[in-house]
Amino acid sequence: MKIPAKARLIYALTLVGILVWLAALGLAPYLRSRGVGANALIYSVFAPTCHQIPSRCFHLWGQPMAVCGRCTGVYAGFLVGMLACLVLKRLGRTRPPSVLSLILWTAPMAADGLGNFFRLWVSTNGVRFATGFIWGTILPFYLLAGLNSLFLGSRAEQSRSLETRGNSS
């Protein structure tokens, strides 16, 4: 199956985006350790996505990363998931994996988060990273399918989809 040029572009832009995102995670503590004020901007970019509690963050250059261990795992897992999409030839697909897949890949992180929330246990940053990593690996399969559906789906399919939604409400 030939992969449409738009699908390759979507993949490339998403891959560059996650690489820049991951680089920023390391750049924030590096800049803070050097006293460069721009670090505050990077930390503030990540603040809406993460609590940034220092004890739950990995530290580089003696400073906490811009996100916690679980979020670091999600983003690292997302990168690995992007590579898996390439290896598994999922670049041009518009159909995401099943909901059951999402539930199974989410279960470890959900269980760990709930266990911590209800004070049944306190996870280490390594466990938080691992559960986030597992979940992060499945996310590109959904994101790429959604973007491909949005940008590659035929106009007829999109019209039918909109008509179906309009009739169901």
Cα(71)–Cα(12) distance, integer angstroms: 22
111-123: pLDDT as tens digits: 999 999 999 999 9
Compute how many other C-beta atoms are within 10 angstroms of the C-beta atom of residue 79: 18
Average pLDDT over residues 163-169: 52
Closest CA to 137 of 90, 92, 94: 90
Task: Pick the more confident residue, 109 or 160.
Answer: 109
Cα(34)–Cα(42) distance, integer angstroms: 14
34-58: pLDDT as tens digits: 999 899 999 999 999 999 999 999 9
Closest CA to 11 of 73, 74, 92: 92
What pLDDT is stored for residue 156 in this prediction?
A: 41
Report the percent of the chain where pLDDT is more than 70: 90
Six token digits for residue 145: 């399918």
What pLDDT is stored for residue 82 in this prediction?
A: 97
Cα(20)–Cα(15) distance, integer angstroms: 9
Task: Pick the more confident residue, 61 or 166.
Answer: 61
